[in-house]
Amino acid sequence: MKPLPEKVCFYLLLLLMLTHAASGQVTRLEVEAGHSIARIQPTMYGIFFEDINFAADGGLYAEMVKNRGFEFYDPMMGWKQPNSSPYGFNKESGIAGILSPGTDPANRNFCRVTLLNDSGYSLINEGFRGMGIKKNARYRLSLLAANPNQTVHKIRVAFIDQDGKVLGETLLTPDNDGWKSYSATLIATETCPKARLRIAFVGNGKIDLDNISLFPEDTWKGRENGLRKDLVQLLADLQPGFLRFPGGCIVEGRTLAKRYQWKKTVGPVWDRPLLINRWNTEFSHRPAPDYFQSFGLGFFEYFQLAEDLGAEPLPILGCGMACQFNTGELVPLDELDPYVQDALDLIEFANGTTDSPWGKVRADMGHPAPFGMKFIGVGNEQWGPEYMERFAIFQKAISEQHPEITIVSGSGPFPEGDFFEYGWEELKKMHAAIIDEHYYNSPEWFRTHATRYDEYDRQGPKVFAGEYAAQSVRTTSPDNKNTWECALAEAAFMTGLERNADVVVMSSYAPLLAHEEGWQWTPDLIWFNNLQAYGTPDYYVQKMFSTNRGTDLLGIHTQNGEALTGQNGLYASSVKDAPAHAVIVKLVNTSDSAKPLEVTFKNQKLAKKARVLTLHSDHLNEVNTFEQPQQISPEESEIAVENNRIRIEMPPYSVLVLKTGLQEGN
């Protein structure tokens, strides 16, 4: 190899020195610790729950039996008859078939088992991609049975593994000719991620079955018809400021007939007619024809969950428009009254007195005290004049009758472009209170849009960043992963949300939950299977921001008086937590080099130490997994504060939260 000419060597050396000097350059930041620019709304960081990816049935809703009431469009879906012919019959020992005498849409069908001899015919429920059972845990079984002439002596209910090994068993005695409810406790003898429920019969003749249900006893707060404790705990750990529910596109439905109707999701659980989940076959690459909404997790349970989490409930209602990505079916304006009435009745359900019709429904469900709902969303992701016309009707009715309720409107599915511009322009004219914006975009987009809200009109509507997530490949690609690069980019962007907390009053990542096998959309904040769950790096970013949200926005700027919005790959925001008497700084380094920083706090005397939370990985493609759920998770340390100054070196690709107390007398 020929030696490089001397001049080239000199310039290379110079370049190397300059690069080194630049990366070693200290970034000096000043926090205006004594001056609150704006209040940080308690709703600043929240969660958005939609029943997508088996988030409700098969996920948060702890029911373990799929198609428990035989009401799916294929009423035997989820149920197997062992040793059966391709047509589902086991002629040797028995036959299960569906009878549909019912006219009540919630309860059309039941299952009739005809036993041909005493050889132990059984039915098996496969659960939601299996049932996760834990050794020694107790499970609450209930079912309805009618046993005419009582020729069936026993029902033997057992957990079995994939090979048919029994992992816990209980016996029921069906001692009534007519319909009667039976319950029992099943105790698992082993832990098994993919158990199934076998229902076998001792005797002869016919027996009718319905509403076969199984819940772990150990649900969130021990509630019957309860929620999965580990998943709710992950949500609670985020300390969300609000809970947006139930969607998402699920609110709108592909057609109006298939829209979400909250009134059908309250009252006795078995009276709630189920609905096919719109995400069942939305993506041909991830079909889930067995995906239904049982509504066991319905509006009452959502309000209760919000209350448990200390989060403001934010229900979203359809506004007379089916999903515009599907049919876009419209309710004529002069037929919109029932939809508007649904919104008014919902306010009564949540907040009304117990002697009001809908307040009474709430009270009868066990919650006489009002839920104290303050927000309502009209429409999900609608666009165009059709939305504006309908929104105006809702806005008028709700604000006239309930001026205390803040209405959230939407600006369509995209964060820019014609739909978005038009939506904002029109909603501004209508003095909309809060406008929901959605962005699913590349990490690069998130990094370069940290200044998105810097120029927003301070006198205009407030912003709800209602659905966002960085996409490692592209929106709706099944190859998207919750990589560290995505989470890091979101953190950079979130400093921009926070710096603009006078305009941005709510924000939430989307989607929230995904079943390892039952998902349709990725990336997602939390992944789970039937036994485990873990937070993605994005989850930890959300948690770091949310649990350090503070109460007051503080200015933080470089020596040039600029906000840090990506210079040298760095981002920053700062808040004060008045009740905790503390100042918090959030720092993001999206570059591949370590960055020395010096943060000086003006006009407030700080304590001598600061707590540092660091989220970091050297590898942008790294992800958390079931095997390594905390591969990327925050680490806590302490650092000295000298003369109101913190000196710290940020690792490459890192998110830091510095929190330091204020000295007494400040």
- With contacts defined by CB under 6 A, name the span among 247-255, 359-367, 549-557, 657-665 that binds ligand AHR: 247-255
**CB closer to ligand AHR, 522 vs 590:** 522
The 10 Å Cβ neighbour count of residue 284 is: 6
**Residue 377 binding ligand AHR, by CB under 6 A:** no
User: Dihedral sign, CA of 227, 228, 230, 232?
Assistant: negative
Block residue for tokens 């002629």 = 91
DSSP 268: S
Q: Does 248 bind ligand AHR (CB under 6 A)?
A: yes
**Binding to ligand AHR (CB under 6 A): which residues in 398-427?**
413
Pick 442 or 633: Cβ nearer ligand AHR: 442
Please identify which residue in 493, 521, 527, 539 interacts with ligand AHR, judged by CB under 6 A: 521
**Residue 268: alpha-carbon gap to chain centroid:** 25
**Residue closest to ligand AHR when measured from CB atoms:** 248
Of 147, 380, 500, 660, the one binding ligand AHR (CB under 6 A) is 380
Q: What is the 3-state secondary structure (H, E, C) of 344-394?
A: HHHHHHHHCCCCCHHHHHHHHCCCCCCCCCCEEEECCCCCCHHHHHHHHHH
DSSP 514-542: EETTT-SS---SEEE-SS-EEE-HHHHHH
> What is the chain's Cα-based Rg?
28
Per the CB < 8 A criterion, the answer to whether 624 and 482 are in contact is yes
435-454 residues near ligand AHR, rule: CB under 6 A: 438
Q: Which of 71, 381, 485, 490 is catalytic?
A: 381
Q: Are the beta carbons of 481 and 469 closer than 8 angstroms?
A: no
Q: How many CB atoms lie within 10 A of CB 204?
A: 16
Q: Does 253 bind ligand AHR (CB under 6 A)?
A: no
Q: Which is nearer to ligand AHR, 304 or 380 (CB)?
A: 380
Min dist CB 64 to ligand AHR, Å, is 26
Contact 204, 118 (CB under 8 A): yes
Shortest Å, Cβ 640 to ligand AHR = 44
Per CB under 6 A, does 381 bind ligand AHR?
yes
Q: Which residue lies nearer to ligand AHR by CB, 79 or 519? A: 519
247 belongs to the binding site for ligand AHR (CB under 6 A): yes
Q: Per rule CB under 6 A, is residue 127 in the interface with ligand AHR?
A: no
Whose tokens are 């209930």? That residue is: 142
Chain CA centroid to CA 232, Å = 10
Half-sphere exposure of 142 (CA within 13 A, CB side): 13
* CB contact at 8 A, 556 and 31: yes
Task: Give the Cα separation of 158 and 171 in Å (integer).
Answer: 9
Which residue, 52 or 145, is less far from ligand AHR as judged by CB?
52
Least distance from C-beta 50 to ligand AHR, angstroms?
Answer: 5
Q: How far is the CB of 329 from ligand AHR (least distance, A)?
A: 17
The span of 53-61, 243-251, 255-263, 368-376 binding ligand AHR (CB under 6 A) equals 243-251
Q: Find the shortest distance in angstroms from Cβ 45 to ligand AHR.
A: 17
User: Within 10 Å of residue 473's Cβ, how many Cβ atoms?
Assistant: 14
In the bound state with ligand AHR, the residue whose beta carbon lies nearer, of 122 and 261, is 261
Distances (CA, A) of 112 to 123, 180, 610: 11, 15, 67
Least gap, CB of 194 to ligand AHR (angstroms): 28
User: What CA–CA distances, in Å, run from 519 to 59, 135, 279, 542?
Assistant: 11, 27, 9, 21
Cβ at position 545, least distance to ligand AHR in Å: 20
Is 381 assigned a catalytic role?
yes
Q: Pairing relation of β-strands 312-317 and 242-245?
A: parallel
Tell me if the bond preceding 596 is cis, omega within 30° of 0: no
Residue 525 identity: L
Task: Tell me how many residues contact ligand AHR (CB under 6 A).
Answer: 13
Q: How far is the CB of 466 from ligand AHR (least distance, A)?
A: 8
Interface with ligand AHR in residues 532-591 (CB under 6 A): none
Write down the least CB distance from residue 76 to ligand AHR, Å. 30
**Closer to ligand AHR by Cβ: residue 32 or 437:** 437
CB of 465 to ligand AHR, least distance (A): 13
C-alpha distances in Å from residue 109, one per residue of 6, 104, 294:
88, 9, 14
**Residue with Cβ nearer ligand AHR (53 or 654):** 53
CB of 506 to ligand AHR, least distance (A): 15
What angle, 0 to 180 degrees and rounded to 10, lies between the N-to-C axes of helices 385-401 and 337-351?
40
Does residue 249 interact with ligand AHR by CB under 6 A?
Answer: yes
Least distance CB 188 / ligand AHR (angstroms): 34
| Residue nearer to ligand AHR on the CB measure, 536 or 589 | 536
CB closer to ligand AHR, 280 vs 547: 280
Among 301, 467, 485, 490, binds ligand AHR (CB under 6 A): 467
Instruction: Report the alpha-carbon distance of residue 168 to residue 191 in Å, rounded.
Output: 11
Q: Which of 143, 243, 510, 648 is the binder for ligand AHR (CB under 6 A)?
A: 510
Residue 383, interface with ligand AHR (CB under 6 A)? no
State which residue, 52 or 463, has the beta carbon closest to ligand AHR. Answer: 52
- Point out which span in 35-43, 245-253, 598-606, 658-666 binds ligand AHR (CB under 6 A): 245-253
Q: Does 507 bind ligand AHR (CB under 6 A)?
A: no
Span 254-293, contacts to ligand AHR by CB under 6 A:
none
| Separation of alpha carbons 137 and 459, rounded Å | 56
Three-state SS at 106: coil
Single-letter amino acid code for the residue at 625: T
d(CA 28, CA 597): 6
511 touches ligand AHR by CB under 6 A:
yes
Please tell me the total number of residues recorded for the chain in this structure. 666
Q: Which of 211, 254, 204, 243 is nearest to 43 (CA)?
A: 243
Q: Which is nearer to ligand AHR, 50 or 552 (CB)?
A: 50
When binding is defined by CB under 6 A, the residue of 29, 30, 45, 50 that contacts ligand AHR is 50
Burial class (CB in 10 A: 0-12, 13-18, 19+), 357: exposed
Which residues bind to ligand AHR, rule: CB under 6 A?
Answer: 50, 52, 247-249, 380-381, 413, 438, 467, 510-511, 521
Q: Which residues are catalytic?
A: 381
